[in-house]
Structure 1
């Protein structure tokens, strides 16, 4: 395995890179540099590499050759990060599984991915009790089950690097296979854009079942930097945590900003060491970007956008502190421009090309080949101009400067008594009301319900004030105040939970 040295953001990388290649870059720069930090535990590139080779050898032994699909039932532990590398080192595909998910959901994902081996950490081992039927058919592999590989087995750019599962409209997980060449194209873009350095220290906030965790790992390791796992309790002492660990690259969902605001952490110049502050996974509000910029004044704040099917993120927009308030639709920072190697088209309600506003469809070298279950492809792709385009389900508008603004989900555009309603517009209107910090609007049947955070308020007064911003048909019948929105495993606002609450509250 040829290991190239890290030579900076302008380097010309060999074509056809794979995930092991990106770890190899950090390993080549300095094998004894710190690659991973979890609490007080620090691990070098050499240690992770050797542990991954040992576990990869065990996989090959137990599977009688290269494993095809390797399930990784693990939390954000050292064993989990080693497992990601080991599955690829063994020539296989890694399938991250969350030990906290219901056993039936894990079983469904493992069966659909057709895993032929399973790696676990302590949390994963505890979850095996509810997966006895899976254990009967799939070996649970430990490092001592075979001799270490002398070097990683070769993999092709057209091999599947990892499989992640997203929830479909039916709630059944949909398997998304991402090829090495898909993620390689993405990593080339981010390393070229950001110029990450060996002295950079990266946050890691996302569960390994969320594709944004792949950014954390391979942006850090591809630059020879250090990855620091951020535990949930760190947010209560966030300023100390970030500054103590010397984090220079922060990456999280925007929901983290609202959480830190409640903790009083977004004070001026609170995070002086941050160089890059990146947000993805849900809309980034202008007010949140501005507050974060105040706390990290020497940091570039960027809004990243993209579904798992387009490999981690596919567009980006830098927040400019001088941006005029309200310049963005619905108070949401635009999603910006597509990465090089990607192209887009917009579709109107009739499925025809639209000039300025419509559903965003994307094609290019980051687009995945299709779902594990081909039936899930139905309605998710469109053929146009001799090319296949992925339909994101997101509505966007071209701004005067040619960049894209996010308007909301297509399935969040509903009709109430014949009136077309965009939930994002109602949420924007609520944020204009006095005392409201943030808002989420859901539809139950034909009834609009809103949840808001911020100062205590009377629902009737909010509805009266909202009429100054929106037509009567867009004013929610029910408005509930919460101290904070519920978050899912990836620290994104859990809209499904809020919809269930709205239905229960009536």
Structure 2
């Protein structure tokens, strides 16, 4: 499905599932070579395209890629077409085995090589059963759709809304210019975005007291959610219940949730972030240290249960991620997580976000947290850059300009002098990747190209 958030896309995804097929959402604004690679890996044979998809189709199939296009009108005769036979319409949906894939989604590709992840009907169903148990969505609700359909939170929005008989509203980026006006005009009651959506709204002056008072549910996911951001959001949306959603694509959209509980949430979080909460019922987790020992306190989060993917489409990519231990198959998230005494899990950072500088092990999230605490700083992201002596650190931050000595004084609380960041760089805003997460790879490249 090579399409944006269009009628063709939404009807198309339902039609494919109704016919017992597997949906592979593809983004028209992705590089053509990346799209071709995804199509090859997923074994795409037929495309549904909207106007945006049609515009890039010649480039996507320009290297001789063999694919047919569903003739929905306006496609033209430049491609092999699948004719629509209205007499062959199905009277009821095709029954499929619960282990069969409903979707193939591709990870965001932080390594530069996105992985194809089949999401089964069983995992899909388990996820939405959990949502139904704790949320009171209904036909009167209006859901925001800020995510694209190739990103698993976007799939959450589609079926959380339609499963409740509610309206789903595609939110254009321009809506952030006047988010309160957009939300009020369209009666949005359920909001879902990355935490970056909060600072975008804040930068546009949209978080004034009661400005979003029609919102009754607010969901955030895709990256770490800061406690301060939640508090700012709740000033504007005081009647909203806020949940922090966590889950890798490999675990069918989401696997943990935490509902904001004020000071209690602040106490259970780490580095000023909201806990990711408890894993869904019927699933298990373990925390594994770098030495391979199971810990009750902190370690890499391993998960198992109904929602686990069968593995990547390219089986060679499974090594080191899907493992068997104690007779069960686990997914290693690569996330460092801390367990609270009450059972909540808190996100500490990526296992690979721990870097060594002059043989000193540095947790980048701790540096981010300390810089954020400095007066005038809105947000901060620390990245390593190669230097003649090994690694050195560069901190990017948003907010007003702050004297570097003030920032360095704060960081000295967690780092020795020999490994203090070399630069503190103010940006008007952080770059975002296509999934509207902070683009850390772009920041690393920016740091590497700096003259220090």
- Give yes or no for contact 2:396–2:425 (8 Å, CA) kept in 1: yes
Partner of residue 70, structure 2: 141
Q: 1: distance between equivalents of 2:189 and 2:195?
A: 18
What displacement does 1:232 show? 0.4
Q: 2: distance between equivalents of 1:354 and 1:268?
A: 43
Partner of residue 288, structure 2: 347
1:400-439 matches, cutoff 5 A: 400-439=341-380
1:412-491 matches, cutoff 5 A: 412-445=353-386, 446-491=391-436
Partner of residue 48, structure 2: 119
Q: Does 1:150 align with 2:150?
A: no
Partner of residue 138, structure 2: 197
Question: What TM-score results when the alignment is normalised by the length of structure 2?
Answer: 0.93
Q: 1: distance between equivalents of 2:65 and 2:30?
A: 20
Greater Cα shift, 255-264 or 137-146: 137-146
What displacement does 1:90 show? 2.2
Q: 2: distance between equivalents of 1:475 and 1:464?
A: 10
Q: Does 1:236 align with 2:165?
A: no
Q: 2: distance between equivalents of 1:280 and 1:169?
A: 17
Deviations 1:220-259 (A, max 9, x none): 0001000010000001110011111111111110000011
Q: Aligned with 1:316: secondary structure?
A: strand
**Number of residue equivalences:** 435
- Give yes or no for contact 1:429–1:470 (8 Å, CA) kept in 2: no
What displacement does 1:133 show? 3.7
Partner of residue 76, structure 2: none
Greater Cα shift, 322-331 or 447-456: 322-331
Deviations 1:203-227 (A, max 9, x none): 0000111011111000000010000
Q: Does 1:260 align with 2:201?
A: yes
1:8-157 matches, cutoff 5 A: 72-133=1-62, 137-143=66-72, 145-148=83-86, 149-151=89-91, 152-157=93-98
Q: 1: distance between equivalents of 2:433 and 2:316?
A: 27
Q: 2: distance between equivalents of 1:100 and 1:352?
A: 44
Question: What TM-score results when the alignment is normalised by the length of structure 1?
Answer: 0.83
- Give yes or no for contact 1:293–1:321 (8 Å, CA) kept in 2: no
- Give yes or no for contact 1:438–1:452 (8 Å, CA) kept in 2: yes
Q: Aligned with 1:334: secondary structure?
A: coil
Deviations 1:35-84 (A, max 9, x none): xxxxxxxxxxxxxxxxxxxxxxxxxxxxxxxxxxxxx1111111111111
Q: 1: distance between equivalents of 2:113 and 2:55?
A: 24
Q: 1: distance between equivalents of 2:21 and 2:161?
A: 22
- Give yes or no for contact 2:355–2:363 (8 Å, CA) kept in 1: yes
Q: 1: distance between equivalents of 2:438 and 2:55?
A: 28
Q: Kindly tell me: are residues 177 and 275 of structure 1, through their superposed partners in 2, closer, same or farther at Cα, counting changes over 3 Å? A: same
Q: Aligned with 1:331: secondary structure?
A: coil
Q: 2: distance between equivalents of 1:395 and 1:99?
A: 34
Q: 2: distance between equivalents of 1:134 and 1:218?
A: 36
RMSD: 1.6
Q: Which runs of 5+ in 2 are unaligned?
A: 74-82
Q: Which runs of 5+ in 1 are unaligned?
A: 1-71
1:281-360 matches, cutoff 5 A: 281-323=222-264, 328-360=269-301
Q: 2: distance between equivalents of 1:286 and 1:318?
A: 12
